[in-house]
Amino acid sequence: MFPSHTHDVIPECLCRGSNPIYGFPIKPSEMTDFSGQSQVISYFVMRLPWLSIAEELTATAFSSIVAITIAEVKAFMHKQFIIGLKGPVLTAQERIWLTEQPPLGVILFARNTRSPEQVKALLSDVRICTGQDTWAAIDEEGGRVNRMPWSPFNNRRHAADYGVMYARNAGTAIQAAYQDSFCAATALKTLGFTHNCAPVLDMFHPDGHGIIGKRAFGDNVEQVTALATACMRGLHDAGIAAVGKHFPGHGRANADSHVAVPQVDAPLATILAEAEPFARLIAAGLKHVMTAHVIYNDTVKDVATVSPFWVRHVLRERMSFFGRIWSDDLCMKGVGDDVPAAAEAALKAGCDTLLICQPEGVAEIYGRLI
């Protein structure tokens, strides 16, 4: 029998009749006993309304899914991966992975970028190997977070600079943020990118770790929302998908999740109030949200990336978000030292796009899970 908490996991709006997107009934009264398949069902079906691999299953009812084994579920996992590459050209092993078990996408870093021509060639090579229109992501926030050492990427303002401008003239700041984002996104599109991991929706907090700092647009909801919306629209208008981060907020965190497990001691009500920019950008058209490797001590004792409370209950249900949920990099210390275990935990929590950015982590996860 389906777990008793399944109805709590699936938003109420998806529990009435048939899901118009996937075309099968998910009303709890229509769930039946599938004779010993509960392990698969609890692992797989509870994420079905949002999991992209479900789209590839020609399911018209749950009964057409129950034959799936755990091994078969794992066989789909590479379709959830966005992987980092080792250098400016593909290695022989990367060509094998991309050809035989193509990921959803790749993400480039400074180690992968030498010139515009080289980046174009690399992304073209990736897509020749996969034989499909593979996603290509990058972190081009502006300011200190940039990956390509040429214009327009290496001379952009920090988000905080737009915050200062906003205090003087909000309209001018919003227009400037839009134009900067549109210009960068136009250049990204020309190079072959599809996604930019921006805008940062974290609120600046003076007692928080400096990993966010000037990457934040400000310390209040209205300012962050206005400037981040301008950034998002600039990306979208140039044909690049925006990825808002780091849900539900990294600004108060006491450590850098690249090297430690950060915690936030603020009350839940405060965290939710400061997560309002995510809700507002979702309402304005944000289709991709990245989670934070942060523990919020007033709630569950897991980082948000692997927490059903944050991923399913708050982001999916409370904020009515039905886009893609990206984990932050699963090679970061914020989710431990076991990349495959972190990937399984993030999937189980409800993330459907898994960032594995370091070459060692990519090798480990392909070796153990695929």
Catalytic residue numbers read 258, 328
| 93-140 pLDDT tens trace | 999 999 999 999 999 999 999 999 999 999 999 999 999 999 999 999
Burial class (CB in 10 A: 0-12, 13-18, 19+), 194: middle
pLDDT-flagged residues of the chain (< 50): 1-68
127 vs 121: CA distance, rounded Å: 10
Question: Which pLDDT score is estimated for 10?
Answer: 33
Eight-class DSSP state of 315? I
Q: Residue 322 carries which side chain, given as an amino acid letter?
A: F
| Domains in the chain: ranges and CATH | 6-72 (no CATH), 77-369 (3.20.20.300)
Question: Which pLDDT score is estimated for 74?
Answer: 66
339 vs 331: CA distance, rounded Å: 6
Contacts of 22 (CB under 8 A, 6+ apart): 48, 49, 54, 55, 59
184: its two tokens: 């960068």
Enumerate helices (H) and strands (E) in the chain, giving the number of each. Answer: 14, 11
pTM (2 decimals)?
0.82
